[in-house]
Amino acid sequence: MARKYNWKTGCDVEATLSAIGGRWKPVLVCHLLSGRKRFGEIRRLTPNATERMITLQLRELEADGVISRHVFAQVPPRVEYQVTDVGRSLEPILTAMQLWGAAFKKRRLAEEAAEAASASD
């Protein structure tokens, strides 16, 4: 775990963010909630994230016990990722974030449309 967090005195929200904070961790966990995925699948599902960033975020999620990594002894090597029970417990939080994000996005698109309409008048 690269992040520093004081487990004795830190805020509970900070504890949550130490595990799933950042731009890509919640996205990666959301994708993995639907089932095991290989790295290539994860990369295709998150086209705006670099391969290096995905790798780093997966490693941190694994170190925190949110996901597990399964390596299959074959050529070429095959690696799959899946959420653990700890990761599965994040589902209600991530679902709430999805709902909030959809409403926020809808509101912002409506605001932009209203601004564009008033600018063209």
Neighbours of 67 (CB within 10 A): 23
Full-model pTM = 0.83
Best CA proximity match to 25, nearest among 47, 46, 7: 46
**Domain locations in the chain?**
12-89
Q: How confident is the model at residue 77 (pLDDT cuts 50, 70, 90)?
A: confident
Neighbours of 3 (CB within 10 A): 13
pLDDT tens digits for range 9-49: 778 888 888 889 889 999 999 999 999 999 999 999 999 99
Architecture of domain 12-89 in CATH?
Answer: Orthogonal Bundle (1.10)
| Cα–Cα distances in angstroms (integers) from residue 112 to residues 83, 101, 109, in the given order | 37, 16, 5
